[in-house]
Amino acid sequence: MRISEVELDHAFADTLETDQVFQHWLLAGSRFGRFADTARLLHEEQSRVRKAKHWWKHWWIKLNDGTESETDLFAVFEAPGGLRFAFHIENKPFDGKLTFDQAAAYRRRAIQCARTPKWLHYHDLETVLIAPRGFIDRYQDCSAQFDRALSYDEISAFVPLFGAASFAAA
Give the residue numbers spanning the domain of 59: 5-169
- What is the pTM assigned to this prediction? 0.93
The pLDDT, as a whole number, for residue 51 is: 75
Which of 30, 89, 97, 84 has the alpha carbon at shortest distance from 59?
89
**pLDDT tens digits for 98-116?**
999 999 989 999 999 999 9
Number of domains present in the structure of the chain: 1
**pLDDT tens digits for 40-76?**
999 999 999 987 789 999 788 887 788 888 899 999 9
**What sign has the CA pseudo-torsion 50, 51, 53, 54?**
positive
Beta strands in the chain (DSSP E): 40-41, 57-62, 68-78, 84-91, 124-131, 148-151
